[in-house]
Amino acid sequence: MQTDIRELLVDFARNNSSLDEVRIVDDKGKILGTSDMDNQGIVGQKSTTPLIKRSLSLNTSEDKIYMDDSDGNKRVWVNVLPIKNKDEVIGVIYLVADIESVYTQVNSITSIFITGTLIAMVITAVLGILLSRTITKPLIDMKRQAYAMARGNYSRKVKVYGLDEIGQLAESFNSLTRKVQEAQAMTEGERRKLSSVLSYMTDGVIATDRRGKVILINSPAEKMLRVPHESANGEPIIDVLDIGDSYQFEDLMGQEATITLDRSTVEERYILRVNFSVIQRETGFVNGVIAVLHDITEQEKVDQERRDFVSNVSHELRTPLTSMHSYLEALSDGAWQDPELAPKFLEVTQNETERMIRLVNDLLKLSRMDGEREQLDKSFVNFTDFFNHIIDRFEMMKKDSIKFKRFISKEPVIIELDEDKIMQVLDNIISNANKYSPDGGQISFFLKKFANHIEVAISDEGLGIPKEDLNKVFDRFFRVDKARSREMGGTGLGLAIAKEVIRAHGGDIWAESNRGKGTTVKFTLPYSDLPEDDWE
């Protein structure tokens, strides 16, 4: 049997080079044959290989890979298979195969795979970079455009690289940019219009948020309230308007709420009217309040002057009417038969009647001037001679204790004026100076010529006018000394008429005074040099 096994193994070794060695071992562990021609000496010996022992004892197949140091440190594979005869183990086959080439092939295949993988990764990376740049470049452009739009630059456009989805997105982004630019331009135009309207309107405007904090205040409102923009912006509106003691912000949110602010001082009257309007969305949510400020100082002044005018006219008419009524009653009661009282009563009645006639005539003149129905009948007049003529007339009627002194050049001054109305102005001013000049006083007359106007001044040495009343002497029915003015027959309208006449001629009139040292009334009239031939 050993001979047959040997021949079989030798024949197997010659025809099969994949195995290094094949051993046949019986169930006692004795080696019956080996295919290794150089190791035939082990035949007949008992095997000490642990794998063979384990296979025989356990009736299992055993295999193991280990390094063969004797042959260049190569890997070998050992496999032990039991030989059975009717389920009885009668021996084992011990196989030894050199698998270094397998590992070499595996390493080669692994190297090929690694190299291929690296090449594929490089190619994939390159393709990924190219593809990502194709995708991300328009996205980066859109991101930059979004940043530019956030900074207010709408001139840039995103480049369209294709007609794919990204290209369509780029076109949509460019369309969005264009529409945002148009909307921004429209909004900016409306903002500028609103800013221009708010800046140049005469009324003040204040806008608040829903908490009552000021978010907008225009220049007229700053001037009216005398607050700078920096201190008003962000402050509660009730503090800016200084109405916190009387109102809460909720009180201002009523429909068409209106309040009046009296900011008058001792020196100046100043009244504001504030109208409030609520800002609401379509849903009814309140966004804030808009306050519109109107300066109604002049309106209040006009209303007060109208009330004072009616009161003064009533008073001026009532005084002579009462006096006339008393004297007429006395006459009707029999005083007309008294030869001494009757003429005096009639004289008083006549004087009061004439006084009322003068008052009514003056009122009619002022009414016609206010309605611009009084036409000026202008003509060229030598004002030097005209002024001297009026002074001469008053000098003949003045008291001997009052002196007239003239500071008038003899040079002709030719101006165009309504002679009757300017005469009335001079009559009123000189009459007042004559009335209020004390005995021994002096009335001075001045005439000065300038490039485009003349200035006439008439000064007295009376008691003068208090400084606070200087701007009121040309108001209707205003009198510094009311009792004395009535005694002298004045209506209180002379200087008011003089003011209207001078302004109708394009001039100006004002008063200067030192308390206790007299008063000077000055007025100007337009003047231009005329050639002597034209005057002739």
State residue 122's pLDDT score.
92
State residue 535's pLDDT score.
45
Residue 455: give its domain's CATH number.
3.30.565.10
> Do both 67 and 174 map to the same domain?
no
CA atoms within a 13 Å half-sphere pointing along the CA-CB vector of 27 = 9
> Do both 284 and 324 map to the same domain?
no
> Do both 220 and 110 map to the same domain?
no
> Do both 387 and 517 map to the same domain?
yes
pTM of the model: 0.45
Q: Which residues contact 291 (CB under 8 A, 6 or more apart)?
A: 205, 206, 207, 208, 237, 241, 252, 274, 275, 276, 277
**Tokens standing for residue 482:** 């009311």
Residue numbers of the domain that contains 328: 300-370
> Do both 397 and 366 map to the same domain?
no
> Do both 94 and 127 map to the same domain?
no
> Do both 329 and 228 map to the same domain?
no
Q: What is the per-residue burial (b if ≥16 Cβ within 10 Å, else e) of 300-328? A: beeeeeeeebeebbeebeeebeeebeebe
How many domains is the chain built from?
Answer: 5
Q: What is the DSSP string of 344-412?
A: HHHHHHHHHHHHHHHHHHHHHHHHHHHTT-----EEEEEHHHHHHHHHHHHHHHS-TTSEEEEE--SS-
> Do both 459 and 433 map to the same domain?
yes
State residue 256's pLDDT score.
63
pLDDT tens track for 47-76: 888 888 888 888 888 888 877 766 667 788
Amino acid at 530: L
Last residue of a domain, one of 330, 354, 370: 370
Count Cβ atoms within 10 A of the Cβ of residue 458 and give its class: 0-12 exposed, 13-18 middle, 19 or more buried: buried
Last residue of a domain, one of 200, 216, 234: 200
The C-alpha angle with vertex 427 and arms to 424 and 428, in degrees rounded to 5, equals 90
State residue 448's pLDDT score.
92
Last residue of a domain, one of 348, 370, 392: 370
> Do both 163 and 252 map to the same domain?
no
State residue 407's pLDDT score.
92
CA atoms within a 13 Å half-sphere pointing along the CA-CB vector of 110 = 6
Q: What is the DSSP string of 486-526?
A: HHTT--S-HHHHHHHHHHHTT--EEEEEETTTEEEEEEEEE
> Do both 531 and 414 map to the same domain?
yes
Residue 146: give its domain's CATH number.
1.10.8.500
Count Cβ atoms within 10 A of the Cβ of residue 247 and give its class: 0-12 exposed, 13-18 middle, 19 or more buried: middle
> Do both 525 and 413 map to the same domain?
yes
How far is the C-alpha of 22 from the C-alpha of 84, rounded, in Å?
17
Residue 343: give its domain's CATH number.
1.10.287.130
Look at residues 143, 197, 201, 207 and name the one whose alpha carbon lies nearest to residue 169: 143
State residue 514's pLDDT score.
78
Which regions in the chain score pLDDT beneath 70? Answer: 16-17, 69-72, 154, 156, 254-256, 305, 308-309, 312-313, 315-316, 319, 362, 366, 368-374, 477, 479-492, 529-536
**Tokens standing for residue 355:** 């006084």
> Do both 318 and 457 map to the same domain?
no
